[in-house]
Structure 1
Amino acid sequence: MTPVEIDQALERILPRVTKPGRYTGGELNQVVKEWDSVGYRVAMAFPDIYDIGMSNLGWMIHYDIINKHRNLLAERVFCPWDDMEAALRAGGIPLFSLETKRPIRDFDMLAMTLPYEQLFTNALNLLDLAGLPVRSADRDASFPLVVAGGHACYNPEPMAPFIDVFVIGEGEEVLLEIIGTMRATAHLDRHTQLRHVAGITGCYVPRFYDVAYHPDGTVAAITPNVPEAPPRVLKAIVPVLPPPVTNFIVPFVETVHNRAPIEIMRGCTRGCRFCHAGMVTRPVRQRPVAEVLAAMEAIIAQTGYEEIALMSLSSSDYTHVLELTEQVGARFGHLGLNLSLPSLRIETVSTQLMDNLGDHRRTGFTLAPEAATERMRNIINKYVTDEQLLETAREIYRRDWRTIKLYFMIGHPQEEMADVEAIVDLARRVLAEGRRFHNNKAAVNVGVSTFIPKPHTPFQWEPMGQLDDVRAKISYLSREFKRPGLKLRWNDPDESAFEGILTRGDRRLAEVVERAWRKGAKFDAWYDHFRQDAWYEAMAEEGLDPTFYTHRKRPIDELFPWEHIDVAVTRRFLTQDYLMSGRQETRVDCRHHCFACGILPKLKELRRETAPEAWECPPVTRVGERKKSIELPVI
């Protein structure tokens, strides 16, 4: 169908579907270019509904970077909700871009963001709705190149047969390199094009790797089958954070986050052993205060957002956080902005920081102790004393915040019931601090998640907690939190186990993903859509045991399905840290002491090209000039 035909069909369909604004485009700050005026066209896909995808910062960054190039074009596509999908299929209408209503089949590249594993079936559904074969082997050079990136791609194996190229790591520069390579090889067949792409740092082309298994189902070997494919795919990073997005598209419908995010820091130096993001996003890079302030000026002028989120894995660890919040107050305080720092560490939330935030609208204040006993905090390497938490809570309540949110994790195999009971005790003590200042208006909201041992973390060798045990702990907590001022929310243990299967899966699991999708599984992150029966039926049909992935302790020398993916943190470091957890030994912040995780030697050449203030790591010799911008590769 042509864009005109799709537009005409939408006039008939949209009055009959939920939230038609999801499918119209036309918002403030969308980018529309003449189709024939550019040399390469990218459909930027987020495989969930518009309401979710429009709040994803990584997706926004790549849309912005591509459209800043005169000869490139990026347009948006999301998964339609059930009613819209039914209308599209009934009318034979292919999935289309929001900006120009072009069929996705007409683009040169389909670039998908996969931040979490529950999007895998959505990704297949999106390919199918776009009229593309779901398997890479069935797509030749006449189809768009299918590229995927995001945190769920650090173990790409469960999606290996469906994706042409995985971007491992940060995509700001790599995506442009792929585009340059594809333009230069446009006259070649797809297999040959991919051999060229496989030589780009951070690019994993699954078809160029063979996987062998032991009789017990564990991985025996992962071997490249073409010379261009490296034995281990080293992640890509940008040595200096690119300019922040400022011309955010302003949605027509309510999205999950009604705010403009600015990434002030990337990476983390804390070393929490359960934290996938903290391990894979090393090293730490920080954005200068002046750049953040300039971005805020531009965002306010170009979007009208009333909330700015200063984003990082640990915003209070940002070296210049006090200076930044002081200057934000001085420059923007009269506007009544809501300034949020969504991720704060208890031990780095100072009274001065709270005072700097004091003139902004007070909603909730979120802290994540993760564990309520000293023993468990030592195991997970997130040590903070109860007194530090209570003192921080006291100062928060003193400054007129009335609700504190606390996040905890349960289900670690070394956890005991006493560790769970301590969550209740600690929450009550925090509430008591609040009532000193606000009486019965004080509140403590507790969120409890189930431990999932993620790839590339020190806990990748650990099993998940037994489901019956986790359910018993949640049942206990829900009884104990039925008191005024306390509220409990928790993750469904079955959904956590499902995530554990996918995040730790090998390539055999791809057959399960496709089977589950063909049985109707999609929107697996949505409680009312999660088809657990379809998934376990698919696993049984493939002869796979779910507990093999979730509840099996790995020996130290086991080869993981993601062993060929190199996040620049060495296996030696992760092994050492895992063994330390069993002894309840901790590591300090690696800004104060380097533990040789592997980042510096593996990225030393890149480090030498970067100004010393850009990385929160020990300096190296021959530091070059700071990169000014990201350039399109010359081809």
Structure 2
Amino acid sequence: MNKLALSDEILLSIEKPARYIGNEVNSVRKDLSEIDVRFAMCFPDVYEIGMSHLGIQILYDMFNRREDVWCERVYSPWVDLDRIMRERNIPLFALESQDPIKEFDFLGITIQYEMCYTNILQILELSQVPIFAKDRSESDPIVIGGGPCTYNPEPLAEFFDLFYIGEGETVYFELLDAYKENKKNGGSRRDFLEKAAHIPGIYVPSFYDVEYDADGMIVKFAPNNANAPEKIKKEIVMDITDTYYPKKPVVPFIKATQDRVVLEIQRGCIRGCRFCQAGMVYRPTRERNLEMLKEYAYDMLKNTGHEEISLSSLSSSDYSQLEKLVSFLIDEFRSKGVNISLPSLRIDAFSLDVMSKVQDVKRSSLTFAPEAGSQRLRDVINKGLTEENILEGAGQAFEGGWNRVKLYFMLGLPTETQEDMEGIAVLSDKIARRYYEIPKEQRNGKVQITASTSFFVPKPFTPFQWSRMNTREEFLGKARIVNAAMKEQLNRKSLKYNWHEADLTVLEGVLARGDRRVGAVIYDAYRRGSLYDSWSEFFDNRKWMAAFEATGVSIDFYNTRERSLDEILPWDFIDTGVTKEFLKQEWQKAVGESVTPNCRMSCSGCGAAIFGGGVCFEN
């Protein structure tokens, strides 16, 4: 049993003390006398969210397979414990050993979402590690960032020693070996950073300088250290069958957001939606072997006691062995009371047939993501989905017994018109009408259509990275147009409409496409008390607006201007495999309302195949 860092008095005074005590099933304990490298793996959100993150489970398992490395976990303390730790000067600690994070060799932070940036500063401050990398001493942990937001790490550049760009299974061990060698030879922190800069996929922000012109544009981004390369190439695992994956994932003590076994069936996506960063940066598409997935399903269920298994990917319908895998899972596990979850399915006859086998049709709702209300705008974003596809899929679902449908759209997409916005309501009504076209005796009560709109944020490494973004007022005006159109539809009593938080979206836009100057805003907002910004009950836009004003950073500079195609972008030094020329072509095709076929239909020449070794996938 580990000695707890928190007293019984504190544990009894806070919400969900099980977040902080460790000792969960399958957590790893090691003898410190046999360890050379201690690595604290952090997800900068509350325990229940962080425990649901597959990437950390993979790296935790991978690191702990090495006898000389002990990887432990740490999450953001909830606001009640945050207050107590500050009042009593209690340093943030790892769950497994309960030792202070400041005693570790590495603090690795997964950066999943822009709105967790202030939580990253909370982690550093509560760990008693200097927030700015330049202020850290030889005894402080090396702070390394990974995850999707590292595809534009610049807003966080001053807070991190290193960033790992790409998939973690490739060169992390090389990095740890370089650290061990440097430590053995008595090398300094800077010596290690210089060694790390030679490792593919590793970005050391302090080894690069940025110059701006009078208008605030980047005129030069270049290394200031001979060890640093001009381009950082994304790390990628081409064979995702013969690689690391946990057979014994850690089982949380309390209910997590994703409280189930997760089988990642493939990486990448063939679809090429122009708004989707994941669909671009995780290219090429790679599938896991069916037999490997069967084996892991058995072992993970046995080793965790979970009663649900979820198939994870960006587009599960495109996994070539899906039918065989689902049939196997049903045959083997349904009789044992194991539920099967299938997110990210396209609504077609095959997917509906699969879903009808694995879930209770009468209790569940179907999810469609048309993204845009008109066919014109769906062509602009390259959604690859026609109105006929949508209505046909809805009809088949209704005939199969479903009567509740959730629709997801975006507002503020490039070239959007009022007709496109009103089209969200029109399409929702057409789906409701489709329900009433089936014979009355086949219907399952009244139909319920819930349409939700998020506000579009242009992301790096997408064809829309040059696009202007709407203002808060424009977003809310568009939501009002959709809301009014909903009330005019024939089946309005069956329609419900929700929209996203506009203030949060504006801020996400700045953080997504910002440069190093945005770091000052993040720091100022944190100092004003911003924390858990992705949680609506804690997000305070006034603090952020005050931070922009105090630092003199312009929201409009990052959000509302359209960038020229020859502008130097803050993330241009990263090579994801998808070429900038391809993204430019896709941006121009979007403006021309032209569709690009998906990767399985024909190769679009994005560059990912060559980058990954010549093959995207086998037909």
Q: CA deviation at 1:439?
A: 4.5
Aligned to 2:592: 583
Cα deviation digits, residues 562-618 of structure 1 (max 9, x gap)? 1111111111111111011110011001222222212233343xx5xxxx7xx4169
Q: How far 1:141 moved relative to its partner?
A: 2.7
In structure 2, how many angstroms separate the alpha carbons of the residues matched to 1:317 and 1:201? 31
**Which piece of structure 1 moves more, 162-171 or 531-540?**
531-540
Are 2:44 and 2:119, in contact at CA under 8 Å, matched by a contact in 1? yes
The match for 2:225 is 226
How far the C-alpha of 1:536 sits from its partner, in A, is 1.8
Indicate whether 1:45 and 2:42 are aligned.
yes
Give distance in 2, aligned partners of 1:106 and 1:445: 50
Query: Is 1:548 paired with 2:553?
Result: no
The whole-number CA distance in structure 1 between the counterparts of 2:297 and 2:435 is 33
1:174 maps onto 2:171 in alignment: yes
C-alpha distance in 1, partners of 2:524/2:329?
51
Q: CA deviation at 1:309?
A: 1.2
For each residue in 1:469-518, what CA deviation from the matched residue of structure 2 results, as whole angstroms up to 9, or x when unmatched? 22122123345557443333321111111000000101111111111111
> How far, CA to CA, are the matches of 1:99 and 1:535 in structure 2?
35
Alignment partner, residue 379 of structure 2? 378
Q: What secondary structure, in the 3-state scheme, does the structure 2 residue paired with 1:85 have?
A: helix
Matches within 5 A, 1:610-625: 615-616=616-617
Alpha-carbon offset, residue 243 of structure 1:
4.1
Instruction: Determine the C-alpha separation between the residues in 2 that align with 1:15 and 1:473.
Output: 47
Greater Cα shift, 455-464 or 418-427: 418-427
C-alpha separation in 2, matches of 1:289 and 1:413: 40
Counterpart CA distance in 1 for 2:434 and 2:68 is: 59
Q: Cα RMSD over matched residues?
A: 1.7
| 2:333 aligned residue | 332
Listed one character per residue, the Cα deviations across residues 144-168 of structure 1 (whole Å, up to 9, x for unaligned) are: 1111101111000000011011011
Where does the alignment leave 5 or more consecutive residues of structure 2 unmatched?
Answer: none
Q: What is the match of residue 412 of structure 1?
A: 413
Contact 2:262–2:312 at 8 Å: present in 1 too? yes
Post-superposition offset of 1:461: 0.6
What is the distance in 1 between the residues matched to 2:354 and 2:551? 57
Contact 1:336 1:360 in 2 (8 A): no
Structure-1-length-normalised TM-score: 0.92
- Specify whether residues 518 and 466 from structure 1 end up closer, same or farther in structure 2 by C-alpha distance, changes over 3 A only: closer
TM-fit CA distance, 1:560: 0.4
Within-5 A mapping of 1:173-572:
173-186=170-183, 187-241=186-240, 242-346=243-347, 349=348, 351-362=349-360, 363-435=364-436, 436=438, 437-481=442-486, 483-572=492-581
C-alpha distance in structure 2 between counterparts of 1:202 and 1:401, whole Å: 46
Q: Report percent identity of matched pairs.
A: 39
CA positional deviation for 1:355: 2.4
Change (3 A) 1:312 1:522: same
1:397 partner SS: helix
CA distance change for structure 1 residues 481 and 253 in 2, over 3 Å: closer, same or farther? Answer: farther
Normalization by structure 2: what TM-score? 0.94
CA distance in 2, matches of 1:603, 1:296: 28
Q: Note if contact 1:329-1:356 (Cα within 8 Å) is conserved in structure 2.
A: no
Shift of 1:102: 0.7
CA distance in 2, matches of 1:10, 1:277: 42
**Paired residue for 1:107?**
104
Equivalent residue of 1:75, what SS?
strand
Higher mean alpha-carbon deviation, 61-70 vs 390-399, is at 390-399
- Contact kept? 1:481, 1:488, Cα under 8 Å: yes
Structure 1 16/136 Cα, relative in aligned 2: closer, same or farther at 3 Å? same
In 2: Cα distance, 1:28 partner to 1:287 partner: 26
Instruction: Establish whether residue 63 from structure 1 lines up as the match of residue 60 from structure 2.
Output: yes
Q: Amino acid of the residue matched to residue 23 of structure 1?
A: Y
Q: 1:36 to 1:432 in 2, by over 3 A?
A: farther
Cα distance in 1 between the residues matched to 2:459 and 2:369: 18
Structure 2 CA distance for aligned equivalents of residues 544 and 226 of structure 1: 28
Change (3 A) 1:439 1:323: closer
Cα 1:359/1:222, change in 2 over 3 Å: same
Return the offset for 1:345. Answer: 2.4
- Look up the match of 2:28: 31
Aligned residue for 1:627?
none
Provide the rounded CA distance (Å) in 1 between the counterparts of 2:244 and 2:192. Answer: 30
Aligned-partner Cα distance in 2 for 1:253–1:434 = 40
Count of residue correspondences = 603
Instruction: Give distance in 1, aligned partners of 2:170 and 2:365.
Output: 37
Q: Distance in 1 between matches of 2:579 and 2:470?
A: 26
Q: What amino acid maps onto 2:456 in structure 1?
A: F
**Residues 342 and 355, structure 2, Cα contact 8 Å, conserved in 1:** no
| Mean Cα deviation higher: 384-393 or 400-409 | 400-409
